């Protein structure tokens, strides 16, 4: 399938920001973060290297009971075996969860028999799980430890088991658009949720970005206006990053069926209040 760039300007900012998915980490602040979200919002819940999957599942049960749509991350390298996977699926089903996200997980060594997202997805197919939506990961700027061919092969294997893709954190809309074009050219037609950072202090966000391997995006933040401009923007914003430029750059593709950008996945890093204040401010403009 080939895609054609739109020539006109489409104001898709409101469309993208109207109902994003909010990613939260399963820490003690989770309850307070939920209080900042609109009723019925979709919450993605990460797997914590420190707390493991138990915390993710427990918060998924709590959030679902409060009426949120929940998409817990079931990171493959944190699942012991098929029995453990079946137990997780059962608990989530009892909580009414119908959407999960399956990354590989950032453990160097798996705790059990699943060493990749594909291995877990394949095992999940053999269970009576009842999940209607299953997400997998996309990498617009590549992966720190995997080359592009390996990533493409992995997506080709995972895509038949999934219903949508969520991209890794990225600041450069052009990189996202080019990646979506490449994915479509390779025949993967799953809808895409674009992962964007929420509102945060620049120094904290840049530190997080380096840890998750988005070095090119860090460079993008600096190269857009040059180092002097970057410093000026940093000072003028009182050290706070907002994703206005990123969302505006993605807006022309928000309703283009060839790209099928389903929406935004906001990496809040449990700083939801500032992001929601910014989001409502943009929507009110």
- Per-residue model confidence as pLDDT tens digits over 147-202: 889 999 999 999 999 999 999 988 889 999 999 999 999 999 999 999 998 998 87
Q: What is the separation, in whole angstroms, between the first and last Cα of the chain?
A: 37
219-242 pLDDT tens trace: 544 444 444 444 455 445 557 889
79-134 pLDDT tens trace: 999 999 999 999 999 999 999 999 999 888 999 999 999 999 999 999 988 899 99
pLDDT of residue 214: 44
Question: Model confidence at 4, in pLDDT bands (50, 70, 90)?
Answer: low
Distance between CA atoms of residues 232 and 218, nearest Å: 16
Determine contact, residues 196/267, Cβ cutoff 8 Å: yes
Higher-confidence position of 263 and 108: 263
Q: What is the mean pLDDT of the chain?
A: 87
Tokens of 265: 């996945």
**Beta-carbon neighbour count of residue 229 at 10 Å?**
13
pLDDT of residue 224: 47
pLDDT of residue 237: 52
Determine contact, residues 196/247, Cβ cutoff 8 Å: yes
Determine contact, residues 200/273, Cβ cutoff 8 Å: no
pLDDT of residue 76: 97
SS (H, E, C) the chain: CCCCCCCCCCCCHHHHHHCCEEEECCCCCHHHHHHCCCCCCEEEECCECCCHHHHHHHHHHHHHHCCCEEEEECCHHHCCCHHHHHHHHHHHHHCCCCEEECCCCCCCCCCCCCCCHHHHHHHHCCCCCCCCEEEEEECCCCCCCCCHHHHHHHHHHHHHHCCEEEECCCCCHHHHHHHHHHHHHCCCCCCEEEEEECCEEHHHHHHHHHHCCCHHHHHHHHHCCHHHHHHHHHHHCCCEECCHHHHHHHHHHCCCCCCCEEEEEEECCCCHHHHHHHHHHHHHC
Domain 13-199+242-284 matching CATH 3.20.20.220: the answer reads yes
Candidate from 85-89, 140-144, 150-154, 243-247 with smallest mean pLDDT: 140-144
**Beta-carbon neighbour count of residue 219 at 10 Å?**
12
pLDDT of residue 144: 72
pLDDT of residue 227: 42
Which pTM value belongs to this model?
0.88
Question: Model confidence at 142, in pLDDT bands (50, 70, 90)?
Answer: confident
What residues pair up with 22 in beta bridges, in sequence order? 43, 266
Q: What are phi and psi of 101, to 5 degrees?
A: -120, 135
pLDDT of residue 141: 82
Determine contact, residues 72/56, Cβ cutoff 8 Å: yes
Judge whether residue 215 has pLDDT over 50: no
Could you tell me the residue ranges of all domains in the chain? 13-199+242-284, 201-241
Candidate from 70-74, 210-214, 277-281 with smallest mean pLDDT: 210-214
């Amino acid at each position: 399938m080939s895609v054609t760039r739109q020539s006109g300007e489409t104001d898709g900012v409101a469309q993208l920001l109207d109902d994003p998915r909010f990613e939260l980490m399963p820490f003690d602040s989770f309850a307070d973060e939920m209080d900042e979200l609109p009723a019925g919002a979709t919450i993605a819940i990460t797997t914590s290297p420190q707390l493991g999957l138990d915390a993710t599942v427990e918060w998924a049960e709590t959030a679902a009971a409060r009426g949120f749509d929940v998409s817990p991350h079931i990171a493959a390298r944190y699942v012991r075996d098929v029995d453990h996977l079946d137990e997780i699926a059962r608990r989530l089903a009892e909580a009414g969860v119908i959407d999960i996200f399956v990354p590989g997980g950032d453990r160097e060594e798996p705790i059990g028999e699943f060493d990749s997202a594909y291995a877990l997805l394949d095992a999940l197919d053999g269970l009576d799980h009842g999940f209607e939506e299953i997400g997998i990961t996309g990498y617009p700027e590549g992966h720190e430890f995997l080359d592009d061919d390996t990533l493409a092969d992995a997506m080709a294997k995972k895509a038949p088991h999934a219903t949508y893709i969520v991209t890794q954190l990225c600041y450069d809309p052009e990189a996202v658009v080019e990646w979506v074009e490449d994915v479509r050219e390779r025949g993967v037609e799953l809808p895409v949720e674009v992962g964007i950072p929420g509102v945060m202090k620049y120094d904290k966000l840049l530190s997080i970005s380096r840890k998750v391997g988005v070095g090119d995006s860090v460079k993008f933040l600096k190269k857009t206006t040059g180092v002097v401009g970057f410093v000026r923007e940093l000072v003028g914003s009182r050290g706070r990053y907002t994703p206005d430029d990123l969302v505006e750059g993605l807006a022309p593709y928000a309703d283009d069926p060839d790209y099928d950008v389903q929406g935004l996945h906001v990496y809040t890093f449990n700083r939801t209040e500032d992001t929601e204040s910014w989001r409502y401010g943009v929507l009110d403009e």
